[in-house]
Amino acid sequence: MTSTSGTEWAATGPRAPGRRRAGRKGKAAGRAGRNLPAAIAVGLSLGLIILASLVVWKPAFLIVIALAASVGIWEMVRALKKATGANPPLIPLLAGGLLMTGLAWYEGQDSLILGLIVTILATIVWRLADGPAQFRRDITASVLIAVYVPFLLSFGVLLVEPADGTWRVLATVIAVVLSDTGGYAAGVFFGKHPMAPTISPKKSWEGFAGSVVAAALGSALVFAFALHAPFYWGLVFGAAISAVAVVGDLAESMLKRDLGIKDMSHLLPGHGGLMDRLDSILFAVPAAYLLLALLAPPG
């Protein structure tokens, strides 16, 4: 999982890119003022939780996805309510998130879509009890949350279903992490041309190129040695996932900019909220599910 805040690809500016500055209490911090040791520790912990759930007992991965979806829904409801005054109903959204992950696990892709429809209908019925005032605004926010968090995240459950599902999930996570890392390194050393200055000023086209190259090369190895598929399909997979992950990253940056907030919450030290870690992975997971079905279909 990646973070927009801790891994931006710096374009050259007045201060040398990549250089740390001291926090208020002298702690090392990144360009966004993050506590880097805490950020690294949290990132590694989340990665180990995912790995352990896949290796030790695969049904635990369902629990991880369900918890992540629930926390993400809570953060989105809280952020939208605070920034816009919208009142998306939390309880039916949480219940719908659990329903979607469960249906994806037990029944598959078609049932996941049914779960999304049921969730949206439940939020409409629940919200009607509060009267017609601002109804359209609240339902729009509810649909955004239902699609953006539990629906997209539930594709991770679909990824893990085949016999080699553990490697399919890991291939996706590895591609996103390499994209993030490659983009950061290339941006620090070569970044000069801003990619989306009005949305995320520190991202550069050079960083994007580094993301694509790193993810493509790493995915080629995963395809060849773990998924037993042609390495050139791994190049295609990695490049595509990198591009989709960057779009997801920029989408959340744009959402937070529109809401006027820096982080979705302060739940994770050094990162902000869990949604600030899921930004890239949310778009990457459904894309990976579709690409892997085409490029490395289950045996």
Q: Are residues 153 and 190 in the same domain?
A: no
* pLDDT at site 113: 95
Q: Are residues 139 and 235 in the same domain?
A: no
Q: Are residues 87 and 180 in the same domain?
A: no
Q: Are residues 240 and 291 in the same domain?
A: yes
| Contact yes or no for 142/128 (Cβ under 8 A) | no
Q: Is 27 inside any structural domain?
A: no
* pLDDT at site 148: 96
Q: Is 214 inside any structural domain?
A: yes
Q: Are residues 247 and 280 in the same domain?
A: yes
pTM above 0.75, yes or no: yes
* CA neighbours closer than 13 Å in the CB half-sphere of residue 111: 14
Q: Are residues 240 and 278 in the same domain?
A: yes
How many angstroms separate the Cα of 181 from the Cα of each of 2, 10, 37, 246, 284?
9, 12, 16, 12, 16
Q: Is 10 inside any structural domain?
A: no
CA distance 138 to 124: 9
Q: Which two three-digit tokens encode residue 241?
A: 């996932």
3-state class (DSSP) for residue 164? coil
Residue that finishes a domain, picked among 159, 174, 206: 159
* pLDDT at site 205: 95
Q: Which domain holds residue 110?
A: 59-159
Q: pLDDT tens-digit profile of 97-156?
A: 999 999 999 999 999 999 999 999 999 999 998 888 899 999 999 999 999 999 999 999
Nearest to 31 by CA among 2, 5, 56, 60: 5
Q: Are residues 151 and 267 in the same domain?
A: no
* pLDDT at site 26: 43
CA torsion sign for 115, 153, 48, 269 is: negative
Residue that finishes a domain, picked among 141, 159, 177: 159
Q: Is 19 inside any structural domain?
A: no
- Cβ neighbour number for residue 27 with a 10 Å cutoff: 13
Q: Is 2 inside any structural domain?
A: no
Q: Is 226 inside any structural domain?
A: yes
Q: Are residues 288 and 238 in the same domain?
A: yes
CA distance 253 to 199: 6
Q: Are residues 144 and 218 in the same domain?
A: no
Q: Are residues 154 and 244 in the same domain?
A: no
* pLDDT at site 157: 96
3-state class (DSSP) for residue 121? helix
Q: Is 269 inside any structural domain?
A: yes
Q: Are residues 110 and 240 in the same domain?
A: no
Helix (H) or strand (E) run with residue 163 in it:
none
Q: Are residues 205 and 282 in the same domain?
A: yes
What are the backbone angles phi and psi of residue 156, rounded to the nearest 5°?
Answer: -65, -35
- Cβ neighbour number for residue 117 with a 10 Å cutoff: 11
Q: Name the domain count of the chain.
A: 2
> Running along the chain, 299 residues long, what does each successive block of 10 average in pLDDT?
47 45 42 56 82 90 96 95 94 98 94 96 94 92 97 96 94 95 92 88 92 97 96 98 95 90 81 84 96 91
3-state class (DSSP) for residue 253? helix
- CA 162 from chain centre, in angstroms, equals 22
Residue that finishes a domain, picked among 140, 159, 178: 159
Q: Is 34 inside any structural domain?
A: no
3-state secondary structure 269-281: CCCECCHHHHHHH
